[in-house]
Amino acid sequence: MTVQGYDPRTGQPVGDPVESTSDDGVDAVCRAAAEAAGPWSARSAAERATMLNRVADALDDAADALIAVADTETALGRPRLTTELKRTTNQLRLFGEVLHEGSYVEATIDSPNPDIVPPRPDLRRMLQPLGPVGVFSASNFPFAFSVAGGDTASALAAGCPVVVKAHPSHPGTSQDTADVVANALRAAGAADGVFGIVHGVEAGKRLVRHPSIKAVGFTGSFSGGRALFELANSRPEPIPFYGELGSINPCVVLPDAAARRAGEIAAGYAQSLTMGVGQFCTNPGLLFAPPSLVDTLAEAVRGSSGGPMLAERIRDAYQSGVDSLGSSDLVELVATGAQPDGGWSATPRLFRVDADTFVANLEKLTEECFGPAGIVVTYDEPETLLDVLGRLNGTLTGSVHAEPIEHDLAGRVAERLRRIAGRLIYNAWPTGVAVAWAMHHGGPWPATTNPLHTSVGATSIRRWLIPVSYQSWPQELLPPELRDSNPLGIPRRRDGVLGSR
Amino acid sequence: MTVQGYDPRTGQPVGDPVESTSDDGVDAVCRAAAEAAGPWSARSAAERATMLNRVADALDDAADALIAVADTETALGRPRLTTELKRTTNQLRLFGEVLHEGSYVEATIDSPNPDIVPPRPDLRRMLQPLGPVGVFSASNFPFAFSVAGGDTASALAAGCPVVVKAHPSHPGTSQDTADVVANALRAAGAADGVFGIVHGVEAGKRLVRHPSIKAVGFTGSFSGGRALFELANSRPEPIPFYGELGSINPCVVLPDAAARRAGEIAAGYAQSLTMGVGQFCTNPGLLFAPPSLVDTLAEAVRGSSGGPMLAERIRDAYQSGVDSLGSSDLVELVATGAQPDGGWSATPRLFRVDADTFVANLEKLTEECFGPAGIVVTYDEPETLLDVLGRLNGTLTGSVHAEPIEHDLAGRVAERLRRIAGRLIYNAWPTGVAVAWAMHHGGPWPATTNPLHTSVGATSIRRWLIPVSYQSWPQELLPPELRDSNPLGIPRRRDGVLGSR
The predicted-structure confidence for B206-247, as pLDDT tens digits, reads as follows 999 999 999 999 999 999 999 999 999 999 999 999 999 989
Spatial contact of A354 and A331, defined as CB atoms under 8 Å apart: no
User: How much is the pLDDT for B342?
Assistant: 82
A160 catalytically annotated:
no
Confidence class of residue B279 from pLDDT cuts 50, 70 and 90?
A: very high
What three-state secondary structure class fits A164? strand
Active site residue B73: no
Please report which confidence band the pLDDT of residue B445 belongs to, taking 50, 70 and 90 as the band edges: very high
- Domains within chain B, CATH numbers bracketed: 32-113+130-245+451-465 (3.40.605.10), 250-426 (3.40.309.10)
Residue A223: predicted pLDDT: 93
Residues B498, A103: C-beta atoms closer than 8 Å: yes
Instruction: Name which of B119, B230, B438 is nearest A469 (Cβ-Cβ).
Output: B438
pLDDT digits (tens, 9 = 90+) for B359-412: 999 999 998 899 999 999 999 999 999 999 999 999 999 999 999 999 999 999
A456 neighbors A433 (Cβ within 8 angstroms): yes
Task: Name the band, by pLDDT with cuts 50, 70 and 90, for residue B150.
Answer: very high
Q: Is A423 helix (H, G, I), strand (E, B) or coil?
A: strand
The CA-atom distances, in angstroms, between A292 and each of A352, A377, A378 are 12, 12, 9
Under the banding of pLDDT at 50, 70 and 90, the label for residue B341 is confident
Judged against a pLDDT cut of 80, whether residue B251 lies above it is answered with yes
CB pairs under 8 A between A and B: 243
Chain B closest-CA separation from residue A84 CA (Å) = 8
Give me the pLDDT at residue B501, please: 79
Q: Which residues pair with B213 in a beta bridge?
A: none
Encode B402-445 in three state secondary structure. Answer: CCHHHHHHHHHHHHHHCCCEEEEEECCCCCCCCCCCCCCCCCCC
- Cβ contacts (< 8 Å) between B86 and chain A: which residues? 117
Buried b / exposed e over A366-397, threshold 16 CB at 10 Å, is: bebbbbbbbbbbbbeeeebbbebbeebbbbbb
Nearest to B451 among A90, A435, A466 (CB): A466
Q: Outline where A159-293 has alpha helix (H).
A: 171-187, 201-209, 222-233, 255-260, 262-274
The alpha carbon of residue B270 and the mean position of all alpha carbons in its chain are separated, in whole angstroms, by 23
Answer for the pair A151, A219: CB distance below 8 angstroms, yes or no.
Answer: yes
Q: Give the up-direction half-sphere exposure of residue B361: CA atoms within 13 A in the CB hemisphere.
A: 16
Q: Which residue of B has its CA nearest to A394?
A: B237
Residue range B45-64: average pLDDT? 98
Contact call for residues B315 and B336 (beta carbons, < 8 A): no
Distance from CA of B16 to the nearest CA of A (A): 32
Identify from B82, B90, B117 which residue to disrupt to test chain A contact, counting A C-beta atoms within 10 A and taking the largest count.
B117
**What integer pLDDT is reported at residue B464 of this predicted model?**
98
- For the beta carbon of residue A403, count every other beta carbon within 10 angstroms: 16
pLDDT of res. A342:
82
Which residue of B lies nearest to A496 if distances are taken between CA atoms? B437
Q: pLDDT > 70: what percent of chain B?
A: 100
Single-letter code of the amino acid located at A206: R
Give pLDDT, residue B246. Answer: 87
User: pLDDT at residue B500 above 80?
Assistant: no
The pLDDT of residue A500 is 74
> What backbone torsions phi and psi does residue B93 show, to the nearest 5 degrees?
-70, -35
Kindly determine whether residue A445 and residue B237, on different chains, have CB atoms separated by under 8 Å: yes
Percent helix, percent strand, percent coil in chain A, to nearest 5: 45, 20, 35
Distance from CA of B112 to the nearest CA of A (A): 10
Contact A471 B425 (CB under 8 A): yes
Distance CA B63, CA A26 (A): 59
The residues facing A332 across adjacent strands are: A352
Quote the CA–CA distance of B18 and B1 in Å, as a whole number: 9
Q: Say whether pLDDT at B91 is over 80.
A: yes
Report d(CA B311, CA B323) in Å as an integer: 18
ipTM: 0.97
Per-residue confidence band for B339, with pLDDT thresholds at 50, 70 and 90 = confident
CB pair distance less than 8 Å for B434 and A124: no
Query: Is A109 in Cβ contact with B438 (below 8 Å)?
Result: yes
Per-residue pLDDT at A501: 78
Give the pLDDT means over successive 10-residue stretches in chain A (501 positions).
96 97 98 97 97 98 98 97 98 98 98 93 98 97 98 98 98 98 97 97 98 98 96 97 95 98 98 96 96 98 96 96 94 95 93 98 92 97 97 97 98 96 98 96 97 98 98 97 97 94 78
To the nearest whole Å, the CA of A501 is away from the closest chain B CA by: 13
Check residue A13 and give its pLDDT: 97
Please give the share of chain B, as a percent, with pLDDT higher than 90: 97
Distance of CA B491 to the CA centre of its chain: 28
Kindly provide the residue ranges of all beta strands, DSSP E only, lying in B332-394, ordered along the sequence. Answer: 332-336, 345-346, 349-354, 373-378
Rounded Cα distance, A292 and A253, in Å: 11
Residue range B158-186: mean pLDDT, rounded = 98
Q: Is B320 exposed, middle or buried (0-12, 13-18, 19+ CB in 10 A)?
A: exposed
Rounded to whole angstroms, the Cα distance separating A416 from A386 reads 7
Q: Is residue B68's pLDDT more than 90?
A: yes
- Helix A201-209 and helix A23-42: axis angle, to 10°? 50
The residue from B244, B251, B369, B481 that is catalytic is B244
Interface test with B, best of A226, A418, A437, A483 (most B CBs within 10 A): A437
